[in-house]
């Protein structure tokens, strides 16, 4: 039995599907690939897959990963091709590696947010004003109802550039098994404090461990 880390990107139409639907897609792709994947041994055997950090619906992922197990050795450089032949176009396996870091060591997600607007100057001002606040409170839905939550500490790393008439933000957010911050909260805050409702597209570029090194 061998653990294998499969790296993939989720974009285009596939970004609009939930994590559960993603696992179904992957499972069918793995089944069709003919790879000797290991099945769980429960009453309803299923292909063993464990994902690093599920992506929110609508968010693209440039380098996501999941671990599977192979019951026989296979050259890892041939895995991507074998699986890709059976995946929808916008879900692509990039490569497969031997896992180094456990998923528990993931601490950060690196994101890019593309904001569209008719008025980039205005939006830039609004964004600056928002991030200059002492605290940035947003409403979060919890099991006990709605709760106010200060996202200022999490969003201190935001940087942006002007691009194609809009803004491109890059930021690093907590993203771990103990809890993650959804990048879309920044949009909620922009709406709440500045009344701005720009269209946005969000991409997770990569996952980082505690010491800010790339997950391997």
Partner 1 sequence: MMRQDKKLEHALQKVQKPGRYVGGELNAVVKDPSQVEVRFAFCFPDTYEIGMSHLGIKILYSAFNEVPYFWCERVFAPWVDMEEEMRRENIPLYGLESGDPVNQFDFIGFTLQYELSYTNVLNMLELAGIPLRSADRPDLFNIVVGGGPCACNPEPLADFFDIFFLGDGEEVDMEVMELYRQCKKEGKSKTEFLEQAAQIEGVYVPAFYDVSYNPDGTVKEYVPTHGAPKTVKKRVIRDMNKAYYPKDFVVPLIDVVHNRISEEVLRGCIRGCRFCQAGFLYRPYREKSIETIDRQCRDLCHSTGYDEISLSSLSTSDYARLNELIDTLHQWTEGEKVSLSLPSLRVDNFSPQLMERINSVRKSGLTFAPEAGSQRMRDVINKNVTEEELMRTVNVAFTEGWTRIKLYFMIGLPTETMEDVLAIDELGQKVVDAFYQNKEKPKGKGVEVSLSAAAFVPKPFTPFQWFGQDTMETLQEKQYALKGGVHSRKISVSYHGAQTSFLEAVFARGDRRLCVVMEKAREMGLRFDGWDDCFHFDKWMEAFQACGLDPAFYANRHREFDEVFPWDHLDYGVKKEFFIEECKRAYQNMTTPNCREQCSHCGAACYGGGICVEKRASVV
Whole-angstrom Cα distance, residue 71 to residue 49? Answer: 14
Q: CA distances (Å), 68 to each of 8, 19, 83, 120, 133, in order?
A: 13, 16, 12, 44, 44
Judged by CB under 8 A, the residue of 89, 125, 156, 157 near partner 1 is 89
Of 89, 70, 107, 100, the residue nearest 9 (C-alpha): 89
- CA–CA separation, 21 and 26 (whole Å): 9
Q: How far is the CB of 31 from partner 1 (least distance, A)?
A: 5
User: Helix, strand, or coil here: 30?
Assistant: helix
In contact, 92 and 22? CB cutoff 8 Å: no
Closer residue to partner 1 (CB): 57 or 177 = 57
Report the residue from 45, 102, 122, 128 that binds partner 1 according to the rule CB under 8 A. Answer: 45
When the beta carbons of 24 and 133 are compared against partner 1, the nearer one is 24
Q: Does 165 sit near partner 1 (CB under 8 A)?
A: no
Residue with Cβ nearer partner 1 (67 or 90): 90
Nearer residue to partner 1 within complex by CB, 69 or 86 = 86
Contacting residue, 36, 88, 128, 174, with partner 1 by CB under 8 A: 88
CB 101 within 8 A of CB 63: no
- Where does this chain bind partner 1 (CB under 8 A)? 12-14, 16-18, 20-21, 24-25, 27-29, 31-32, 39, 45, 57-58, 86-90, 116, 199-201
């Amino acid at each position: 039995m061998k653990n294998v880390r499969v790296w993939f990107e989720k974009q285009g139409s596939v970004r609009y599907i939930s994590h559960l639907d993603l696992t179904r897609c992957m499972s069918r792709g793995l089944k069709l690939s003919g790879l000797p994947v290991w099945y769980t041994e429960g009453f309803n055997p299923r292909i063993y897959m464990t994902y690093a950090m599920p992506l929110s619906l609508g968010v693209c992922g440039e380098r996501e990963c999941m671990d599977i197990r192979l019951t026989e050795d296979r050259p890892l450089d041939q895995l991507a091709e074998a699986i890709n032949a059976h995946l929808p176009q916008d879900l692509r396996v990039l490569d497969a590696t031997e896992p180094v870091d456990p998923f528990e060591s993931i601490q950060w997600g690196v994101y890019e947010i593309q904001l569209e607007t008719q008025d980039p100057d205005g939006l830039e001002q609004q964004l600056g004003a928002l991030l200059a606040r002492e605290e940035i409170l947003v409403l979060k839905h919890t099991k006990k109802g709605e709760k106010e939550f200060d996202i200022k500490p999490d969003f201190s790393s935001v940087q942006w550039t002007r691009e194609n008439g809009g803004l491109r933000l890059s930021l690093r957010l907590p993203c771990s098994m103990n809890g993650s911050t959804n990048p879309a909260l920044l949009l909620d805050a922009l709406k709440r404090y500045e009344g701005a409702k720009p269209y946005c597209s969000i991409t997770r570029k990569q996952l980082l461990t505690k010491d800010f090194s790339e997950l391997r």
